[in-house]
Structure 1
């Protein structure tokens, strides 16, 4: 049993960095600088803001396209990713929290450099819940705290912040209209944190219109704000809805009450954004773990596919000249910012360690497996040679998320070390229709694990996976499912690797940020006091004494989503049993933005796996052996 603490300020650099010539490919994939999609000022499109890991930590960068000049905006030990440009491009707003705890204040600095200054004087620290900036300098700020719930504040130039909205249930700022007169708010006043309603109000908070698909039907449907029309005087709001069993856009004018459905004949989920002149929509079509871009003409309804390679578009924005810039990758190819004009838009700033580009990995293949709730889609990557392989079931977080044919440095690292990797889009995942996403209520965790079990059986029967060397792994919700699976399916897994997990559901509920409390009440049907049997059934702590596989846990000590106290409760139970485990605590929140810290954590996980799976089964104690060689329940 091992327990260790790390520090992003020093602990991550304990292992000397190899020279580029001797550095393994898996480390190069992490150290190669990553760059996010540049977002430009609406009225100054030559001024852009993007994130990059060029220094070894993800920070914000300003890019003046007219001169080609780039400069680093933020420089903090634990990194920065939350930034917004004002419409005129004069100011960069960024969110300042403490060591990844997600609790802080907005600050701003001039685009071309200068000291930071408070951007919202008078507002106390909070969790951020959306930000919209107007052309006249108005700022609309969404915020929440555990004590006061969610609120929306308007700050006009030269005036103090004015609260225009407050509710105990979660809510956030969706957008501010082009002329600065209307505000769209997503809210869950009805109590279902998985399905938002949309309210449009004036800047003084008076109501204009409400769109709520949770009312009047047998099923609750969600809405999302995609953005106001980019034209003065146009009050139409682009809204995502689920009325036909998937996410797709429509137009809603809160002033007139008119709703305009959009007939877009594509089979998957549809995200959308406006072209700058308001004449067309950019459609991001996600289907079967891949995505593509289309242009939809609002006047004629014409739909035109844009040229993108097979893989995943992680973000896309239309430019004023009609081209689209997008961040693309595939499982085999690292991310790159491309343009539909045919060129690479942005090369990353020079990297600290001299690694310029990430090596490729292997492509992904698809598996479709019949599960207890329908067909489950899984993505598979495997090393060269013939199976069966030791196999990592890398379970995604969320739960409302999905794995896709996109580049993942950690997945590629496991393949480099001889492991196959299987990623499962279990019930609860997005991308496969509303019914699939909403299926996990009340039997939380257990439903997802049924789907994972079905894919596990397929992987073994197909000859891909070695049944005696199966690793259950994941981060956040994936870490939660890892610990829950080790306890509820103890004969199925040889090892567990859980990062920033929910480990003790009741304590997690009481310690986590308010927005996640609301989500848990929705998923489980109430609080731990109201439905204790559901929390017990879904909590890894309930089954900790059944765990047979060695357990590795990593956790951020400042994590507001999966707080450290509930992890410690689980670890203490492992200690009392004398069960083989290792715990690594680090000085950050829900994951790390520091490259060397991420490498260190993965290196520790790989070493833990090789330490246990690398030994013959006959040399292991009974508690660590595969199910086929363990004693039965009576000994």
Structure 2
């Protein structure tokens, strides 16, 4: 179903266009899709988000032509290991094992039986499961939190075996490997005799340096002496996988790009399968990511990122040759490869500038593509959609930065001649992340109202190789800010933006970029911070274990960081901030606690700078509830229109603006 035009083109200034893409449509249409898995007989499983159910994640199963919900209300298939989660369930036969978010216990549901917990209540969390059927257990990453949350002690991470329901050790937890700060990606060999996994330790993040370990699984289920077979402080390993013939493959960035390698059983350096300047991996923010799988022992099906855009291909392992698979997608977020019948099939999550993220199945023999699930039910007519331009432009210190520019687009509206649009520059979160050009109604909400949008992959973003990613080392709040400013100036110079109506917005790390751009520079006129970092020192003090040493890479190791924290934290320089801002903050946020936003708001109030603050009960780091998605978008639009003297969307969208 699509939204169709309601009237001929009408004149209205940029930023005040009437649009059928409402905030309610954005919220209702946002059905996050993630975490693909394969079951027997070609069944496909995935998680779907439910904004209308407080952001609950429910497990779906595609069986033949029918889609079933495996985990009805109140079940919420989600884990908070590393706070960002992922890898919250596993499938074996017709049985699923999963983490329930409300109590962090593991549950089992087999066939038509009701889901039931099989681990005891406690302070432990689980993620990244593999079923060890021969030993009647799950192997998982376990994160054990202290009994006294007020102690501020960091949780202990380990690889753990958990006895399956019906076994003699049902629910019992046995530590298999410990001693490192972080564990991920346990992968059992096809014959069940070997286990591979990843580790890393403070102060590294997993995209800086990880180790790949291999150990024999002994007769009693314990592990033999582990051997580190790849990785180190300056090499990032991700996605170890076993081929059908029992060979171990993995992705490494030792060449400067995340490429595919095969472990040599006899020792020696791993074999590079298809060396190229492209990314066959992604940063380990969440568990369970997969960018390749095996069609057979001789062929890999993979997706890789080439200059920020995803490609899909079949890889002949022996010859190292890629053969493109034609798809309509420019982003492929995740894939799984099914074998056994004919040439097999591929399931993926993909999108493009005119296709919102969707779940598709591709027959590897015929190439036939079937869409199984949509993230957006009602897609607007193409006449309301802005198709982005991929641009590269010069930034500071001779760097080239990359971004997607979305010009205003609305077939019903027309701006006055010789006028130029206000432009919203988006600084993505992470900061080790990347923005993609898949259709997002949240972006089209702005472009259909006459705003241009520049979505920036600043230095530090993934998708462009390790050197580009490492441009942010020691330079957070410098390089990202410079690249956002340079992008805005590039648009003004080329006549695509009104230089007096430039806006910057961002969430989390992107919120720091936003605040720094407004505090230390004079290019942007307005800003919006979504749970943004304003106090780097406070971030260190309040951050969870996963990111507790991240600033040592982004800023500097202690004690050298203190002076830089002081210099780069906007909260210390509010005397230099004179631009109106609106802040949005979840009151349950454990990544960027509310006091960071609240301190900034109070400082601006005292200085007489126009400021608005929207605090949301029951929301964490990122907003999941439909009513809050609607509220924040409408408030942000109202704020921009008031500040620029444009007609507002309506009194129902009003937010209190102090000092106005």
TM-score by length of 2: 0.80
8 A contact 2:188–2:196 mirrored in 1:
yes
What CA distance in whole angstroms lies between the structure 1 residues aligned with 2:482 and 2:177?
Answer: 42
TM-aligned CA distance change 1:191 to 1:505, over 3 Å? closer
Partner of residue 43, structure 2: 46
Unaligned 5+ residue runs, structure 1?
1-17, 99-103, 617-622, 626-635
The offset of 1:39, in angstroms, is 2.7
Q: Which runs of 5+ in 2 are unaligned?
A: 7-17, 80-85, 146-152, 282-290, 410-414, 648-657
Superposed CA deviations along residues 4-63 of structure 1, whole A, max 9, x for unmatched, are xxxxxxxxxxxxxx9x99992244344236362673335553252331548564531332
Superposed displacement of residue 544, structure 1: 2.3
Q: Assess, with a 3 A threshold, how the Cα gap between structure 1 residues 42 and 180 changes in structure 2: closer, same or farther.
A: farther
The answer to whether structure 1 residue 521 and structure 2 residue 521 are counterparts is: no
1:323 to 333, 340, 345: 345
Give 1:576 deviation, angstroms. Answer: 2.8
Report the alpha carbon displacement of residue 409 of structure 1 after superposing the two structures with TM: 1.7
Q: Given the alignment of the two structures, is residue 182 of structure 1 paired with residue 194 of structure 2, yes or no? A: yes
Instruction: After superposition, give the CA deviation of every residue in 1:459-518 in whole Å (9 maximum; x if it has no partner).
Output: 1111111111111101121112111221111x2111110112112121121112111103
> Which of 435, 459, 464 matches 2:491?
459
Which residue of the other structure, out of 58, 61, 64, is the alignment partner of 1:63? Answer: 61
Q: Deviations over 1:219-253 (max 9, x none)?
A: x221113322245xx1x322111122111110125
Per the alignment, do residues 493 and 388 of structure 1 end up closer, same or farther by CA in structure 2, a change over 3 Å counting?
A: same
Aligned residue runs from structure 1 range 588-627, under 5 A? 588-614=619-645
Q: Partner of 1:275: helix, strand, or coil?
A: strand
Q: How far did 1:267 drift? A: 3.7
Q: For residue 601 of structure 1, report the CA deviation from its aligned partner.
A: 1.4
**1:376 corresponding residue in structure 2:** 401
Q: Closer, same or farther in 2 for the Cα pair 1:327/1:240, shift >3 Å?
A: same
| Structure 2 Cα separation of the partners of residues 47 and 323 of structure 1 | 11
Separation in 2, partners of 1:122, 1:278: 42
Alignment partner of 2:368 out of 331, 342, 363: 342
CA separation in 2, counterparts of 1:537 and 1:113? 60
Q: Which residue pairs with 2:239 in the alignment?
A: 225
**Shift of the alpha carbon at 1:163?**
1.7
Of residues 588, 613, 620, the one that matches 1:558 is 588
Q: Report the Cα distance in structure 2 between the residues aligned to 1:460 and 1:250, rounded to whole angstroms.
A: 45
String of CA shifts for 1:264-303, please: whole Å, max 9, x gaps: 2654212442225433111212112211101112234332
Pick closer, same or farther for the CA change 1:63–1:130 going to 2, 3 Å.
closer
- The question of 1:532 aligning with 2:562 is answered yes
Alignment of 1:288 with 2:307, yes or no, is yes
1:417 counterpart residue number: 449
Aligned to 1:303, the other structure's residue is in SS state: strand
Is 1:152 aligned to 2:171, yes or no?
no
CA contact (8 A) 1:551 1:580 kept: yes
What is the aligned counterpart of 2:518 among 472, 486, 493?
Answer: 486
- The one of 203, 206, 210 aligned to 2:224: 206
**1:389-434 superposed Cα distances (whole Å, 9 cap, x missing partner):** 1000011111111112211221111101110000111110011111
Match of 1:434 among 466, 469, 484: 466
SS at match of 2:304: strand
Contact kept, 8 Å, 2:243 with 2:294, in 1: the verdict is no
- Measured in 2, the distance between the counterparts of 1:206 and 1:380 equals 53
**Is 2:255 the counterpart of 1:244?**
yes
Pick closer, same or farther for the CA change 1:521–1:170 going to 2, 3 Å.
farther
Contact in 2 for aligned 1:427/1:448 (Cα 8 Å):
yes
Q: Give, in whole Å, the separation in 1 of the partners of 2:258 and 2:502.
A: 35
Shift of 1:122: 6.7
CA deviations on 1:123-159 (whole Å, 9 max, x unpaired) are 6234x55333323332122133452432221224433
Shift of residue 588 of structure 1?
Answer: 1.4
Kindly report the root-mean-square deviation, in angstroms, between the aligned alpha carbons of the 2 structures. Answer: 3.2
- 1:504–1:570 contact (8 Å) kept in structure 2: no
Quick one: structure 1 residues 393 and 51, their matched pair in 2 at CA, closer, same or farther if it must change by over 3 Å?
Answer: same
Corresponding residue for residue 9 of structure 1: none
Judged with a 3 Å threshold, the aligned counterparts in structure 2 of structure 1 residues 593 and 78 are, in CA distance, closer, same or farther, namely: farther
Contact 1:60 1:83 in 2 (8 A): no
Specify the SS of the correspondent of 1:25. coil
1:592 Cα deviation from its structure 2 partner? 2.1
> How far apart in 2 are the matches of 1:573 and 1:167?
44
> Distance between the aligned counterparts of 2:360 and 2:75, measured in 1?
30
Equivalent residues of 1:25, 1:359 under 8 A apart: no
Q: 1:210 to 1:111 in 2, by over 3 A?
A: same
| Alpha-carbon distance change, 569 to 326 in structure 1, aligned in 2, over 3 angstroms | same
Q: What TM-score do the two structures reach when normalised by structure 1?
A: 0.83
* Partner Cα distance (1:278, 1:55) in 2: 43
- The residue aligned with 2:287 is none
Q: CA–CA distance in 2 between the matches of 1:523 and 1:552?
A: 26
SS in 1 for 2:333: strand
- Count of aligned pairs between the two proteins: 582
- Secondary structure of 1:154 counterpart: strand
**Could you tell me whether the CA contact under 8 Å between 1:247 and 1:270 is conserved in 2?**
yes
Mapped contact 2:185–2:197 kept (Cα < 8 A): yes
2:97 to 89, 93, 96: 93
**Gap change, CA 1:571 and 1:441, over 3 Å in 2:** same
In the alignment, is the contact (CA less than 8 A) between 2:601 and 2:612 conserved in 1? no
Sort the Cα spacing of 1:614 and 1:344 in 2 relative to 1 into closer, same or farther, 3 A: farther
Structure 1 counterpart of 2:431: 399
**8 Å contact kept, 1:504–1:569:** no
Q: Secondary structure at the match of 2:226?
A: strand
* Alpha carbons 1:59, 1:74 under 8 Å: kept: no
The superposition leaves residues 158-201 of structure 1 with CA deviations (integer Å, 9 ceiling, x where unpaired) of 33211233346333344333333333332223742232222223
Q: Does 1:506 align with 2:516?
A: no
1:24 partnered with 2:43: no
Report which stretch shifted further, 50-59 or 428-437: 50-59
CA positional deviation for 1:369: 0.8
